[in-house]
Structure 1
Amino acid sequence: MSTSLAAEAAAPVICIVGARPNYMKVAPIIRAFAAHNPPIPTLLVHTGQHYDPAMKDRLFADLELPEPDINLAVGSGSHAVQTAEVMKRFEPVIDQFGASAVLVVGDVNSTLACALVASKRHIPVIHVESGLRSNDRRMPEEINRILTDQISDVLYTTERSAHDNLAREGIAAERAVFVGNVMIDSLRASLPKAVPADVLLAQAGLDARRIEHGYGVVTLHRPSNVDHPEVLGPIIDALYAVSRKLPLVIALHPRTRGNLERFGMLAKLDTPGFLVLPPQGYLEMLGLMSGARMVLTDSGGIQEETTALGVPCITIRENTERPITVEQGTNTLVGIDPQAIVAAAEQVLATGGKAGRVPEYWDGRCAERIAAHLHDWLLTHPRQA
């Protein structure tokens, strides 16, 4: 049991993690709940949606996140199978421990699954990172976001434009609370411990001198980008063109590596311009990004992290659910056209890229605001049996 749970007789707030991006969001929330006066009792549940034990242990240690009280060990499966399995395994947790609320973050399958179970048990659902929209319902994450917001009782938002999205979907304004971006809490707390890029490359047996005049970072994992050779091939060709002007460090996602092998494209990365690493821990990625001249990615979270770090980001997607990173931050949305990718990278090299600014409330204190608001909200909105 979490320390705060053991200290309190009240039913806990059950906090859900299921996949890597969730860890960075829940870690500061757990700390803020424990530090609140009085502490907010918690129960940390890991659904096991992402289930690499070594990577999980590494990330939990990096983020100083306590070991989960319960691991549902769901594992992989189709979206339907995974969502159903989380629901089946999560409901008995509520039966055993009770809950004053269920707190979910982000937009993964575990987020929607646990929110559905809680809502049907008349337990308040608290959604952190509400109201983000890509307006592309072909993305499973978009469906998860929309449905979770509809059944949530408290919707904590990272940016004010999210409130417009929620209003258009008929969600009452009083349910949404602007608190800022909790991922930036983790980033600010962890930055002093980040592993520098040259140290990381040396540990991996790569020549760190290859990046002494600057480097870029690449992450690529989104199924729409990596599952089809007619899409992945031109993207890799564009990255090769960029790598001839700036060395690119690639933390290669297992899905991407597998597809490159399957499509006969892995050899394209075996050139002097690419430095290929396995998937990295949080502190390692933070060190890579903070020292980079640019980051090329299809990740949602990295768009936010690069904006907070002031590092130019080129997003290889047709849309983004995080428009504030484009409007105020360092992010440029280029789509998947190879010429557009190369042109954007050349622009960064020529001008230094977008300077941007850190958005409102991305100040490292988001979790404190969540804890203060939720404590008061739970006192005035007791669970209805």
Structure 2
Amino acid sequence: MYLQNSNYKILSNIGSGSGHQVFKVQNNQTSRILALKIEKNPNLGQLDGEIQKLKELDGIKGIPQLIDFGKTKDSKSYIITPLLKRNLQEIAKESLPSLHCTLAIGLSVIEILHQVHKKGILHLDIKPENIMISQPYINIPVDEILQPGFTQLIDFGLSQKFGHKPFLNKVFVGSLRYASRQAHKGNQLGYKDDLESLLYVLVYLRNQKLPWQSLKQQQSQQLEIKKIGEMKEAIFNTTVLSQKFPPQFSQFKQYIETLTQQTMPDYEYIKNLFRSMLSIGDQSSSAKLGCSVTLSQSIKETKQNQNTDHILMLLANLPNNDSIDIPEDQIDIETSIVFISDLISSYPTSSIKSITDIKF
């Protein structure tokens, strides 16, 4: 289907990424409000891969339905999917989700990843911007969050089939803040890397920051990738990432560490860890274990067991009290896609009346 004969009317521009834009559109026949994702330039190919992945994942709860797809007459690929409410990045900027809400979101995404991975597909870009919810707010009863379809995993533009050879040698795949340690090394990625990225997302939701956000911006992207990867490596096996979580969260982290790139995770084990954590109240002593442990203390705990002297030098410049004011993230590779239906009216739409009017 070509968009010059489109049944869709553009309502507003609601976001963009490095190679695409997202519009709120209306089906002229059904009046249904939907989301259009379209390439900025012809023949980029990224959306073609996403279309294929969405076809393969059709019917999985928590994966957006591929309603329509095609190319414009100037060869820009596009997809039409349901218009979702908000992403976790937007929510995290407004308020701190409760422990139970954070864990429920984590369990929901794990349920989705279980089904995605069973299809042999790696997402490879798990981050708050790519996790959507179907309600304006997240601090609601856990039972509602755990309903299939409440949480949606979007943007399969970087996803690959398991075992697919990298396009380039030592290529970095993902977003700097949430990419796995193996991604920083440019190694072949596996199922465990999606889980590691999810772990970082959950830590971010609880703390509204990640330790490596305190690093000064480097002179080049390659140096940025290297330094952040080194810090993740140094911190992963300490207690830093487990603060503000029950003890089972450390077990989740330790289990990720036992996996190889080729291993399919034991999802029932992981789900049971999260169910166990959800049975613990926010005010329990278990939920607050480790809150007083500082970054420097945690690093010292593992110095005897790990060869991290060169990493400790990297961390030596951090403030002694570990209380760091975190600036806005300036290092994510791709601009966040914004789905804020409440702000739609703020966009001027007089010059865009149909999909054929889109100009880049």
State the TM-score, normalized to the length of structure 1: 0.28
Higher relative contact order (CA 8 A, sep 6+): 2
